[in-house]
Amino acid sequence: MKIPFADPLLGDEELNNVIDAVKSTWIGALGKYLGQFEKDFSGYLGSKHASTVTNGTVAIHAALLALGIKPGDEVIVPDMTFVATANAAAFIGAKVVLADVEKDTWNIDPKEVAKKITKKTKAIIPVHLYGHPADMDPIMELARKNGLFVVEDCAEAAGAEYKGRKVGTIGDIGCFSFHASKLITTGEGGMCVTGRKELWEKIEHLKNHAMDEKRRYWHDMIGYNYRMTNIQAAIGVAQLRKLDRIIEKKRRIAGKYMDFLEGVGDIRFPAEKEWAKNVFWFFSMLSSKKDAIEIALKNRGIETRPFFWPMHELPMFRSSEKFPVSSMLHREGISLPSSALLEEGHIREVCRVIKSVF
Ligand SMILES: Cc1ncc(COP(=O)(O)O)c(C=O)c1O
């Protein structure tokens, strides 16, 4: 039985938009779907401005550049995240300062952030890991008190909500990824959203080689080519219309996993705080038997994913400091097949194999 791990939900809507984009000959970084995707996406989130970019990594890089982060500035990121969060700060030459995460939400712990703030700190990047929002109120409060910027890494959490607000609309800039495994996809792709026009203008400027809009081939700084193509945006427009349906499906999948695995061994499930809407990008869980579960599923051809390596273990960000929670998550965390294409039979089969391990 082939069990889809993260396969995207694609159909005629995406195909028809792509055909339309190709027929129009606008297949590069201009064309009607780009503006439409930005308008639809900001409308969906309740944000004022959105700017499409090449991927989620450069979305964070562009956000930090727009906020004026400079070499030597300190940027606080969670120790448990995908490496792109930390890399984006490192691209600038900023110092990556790691903070441990919470045991239940697996997201950056505001108490740990508070300990890491120095005179050089300029920004915090909370990550909404695996679809559960980070606890934004205390993070925003720390930022306000210390004059820091907040860039939300929403790569894994499009549509997730914190106290009724969509993630990405709470900090200064929200950054999204549309990589093929994400809730919605454009193959590769990303988006920055912000409520502040001047930040949006800066991102638009620097993603297009920092070219002056009125004076062609005049560049007032070193810019980047971080533009999305009209073909990608054409897919994005169709995908966004499915996002709520995909989230509903992901939540149902998570509910089934938790029903079928309730009380099995020492398995612990992801949280959904009373203030949160978790979009369960990947259904991820913890168990001391993670390695055995991974092998048993692999032996039946079922794909899983380990949690990320903690940033402090990677050569670029190595630190001898202890990060007990993120280390435990890395040891015990595993993500199960979570594609919106999953059927109940698939989930039952995955759970049957997991139960056989205990
Ligand atoms: C938490 C997190 N941040 C950033 C990224 C980077 O996004 P992309 O792959 O689109 O560059 C990803 C996903 O890949 C991610 O999971």
CA–centroid distance, residue 142 to ligand 1 (Å): 25
Residue ID of nearest Cα to ligand 1 atom 13: 155
CA–centroid distance, residue 40 to ligand 1 (Å): 21
pLDDT at 268 over 80: yes
The minimum-distance atom of ligand 1 relative to the CA of 182 is 13
Give the 3-state secondary structure of residue 91: helix
pLDDT tens for 346-355 read 999 999 999 9
Q: Stretch 251-271: mean pLDDT, rounded?
A: 97
Can you give the pLDDT at residue 2? 87
CA–centroid distance, residue 82 to ligand 1 (Å): 6
Q: Write down the mean pLDDT value for the chain.
A: 98
pLDDT tens for 162-203 read 999 999 999 999 999 999 999 999 999 999 999 999 999 999
The minimum-distance atom of ligand 1 relative to the CA of 190 is 10
**Range list of β-strands (E), the chain:** 49-53, 74-78, 95-99, 121-124, 149-153, 161-162, 165-166, 173-177, 190-194, 276-277, 283-286, 305-306, 333-336
How many residues are recorded in the chain? 358
Same topology, domains 12-240 and 243-357? Answer is: no
Residue to mutate (ligand 1; options 177, 184, 226, 279; most atoms within 8 A of CB): 177
The minimum-distance atom of ligand 1 relative to the CA of 177 is 10
Residue ID of nearest Cα to ligand 1 atom 10: 56
CA–centroid distance, residue 181 to ligand 1 (Å): 10
Could you give the residue ranges of the DSSP H alpha helices within 165-224? 197-207
Q: Percent of the chain beyond pLDDT 90?
A: 99
Residue to mutate (ligand 1; options 60, 77, 156; most atoms within 8 A of CB): 156
pLDDT class of 275 with cuts at 50, 70, 90: very high
CA–centroid distance, residue 211 to ligand 1 (Å): 27
Where in the chain are the domains? 12-240, 243-357
Contacts of residue 166, defined as CB under 8 A and 6 or more positions apart, other chains included, come to 44, 45, 46, 47, 159, 160
pLDDT tens for 24-57 read 999 999 999 999 999 999 999 999 999 999 999 9
In Å, how far are 183, 260, 342 from 345, measured between CA atoms? 22, 12, 8
Q: Please identify, in words, the CATH class of the domain defined by 12-240.
A: alpha beta
Residue to mutate (ligand 1; options 54, 79, 154, 179; most atoms within 8 A of CB): 179
Can you give the pLDDT at residue 1? 67
Residue ID of nearest Cα to ligand 1 atom 7: 56
At the topology level, CATH places domain 243-357 in: Aspartate Aminotransferase, domain 1 (3.90.1150)
- Nearest to residue 55, comparing CAs of 237, 202, 177, 185? 177
The minimum-distance atom of ligand 1 relative to the CA of 128 is 1
Q: Stretch 237-241: mean pLDDT, rounded?
A: 98
Q: Which residues line ligand 1 (CB under 6 A)?
A: 55-57, 81-82, 84-85, 127, 153, 155-156, 177, 179, 190
Q: Are the CB atoms for 91 and 113 separated by under 8 Å?
A: no
Can you give the pLDDT at residue 191? 98
**Range list of β-strands (E), 17-148:** 49-53, 74-78, 95-99, 121-124
- Nearest to residue 277, comparing CAs of 180, 137, 153, 165? 165
Can you give the pLDDT at residue 278? 98
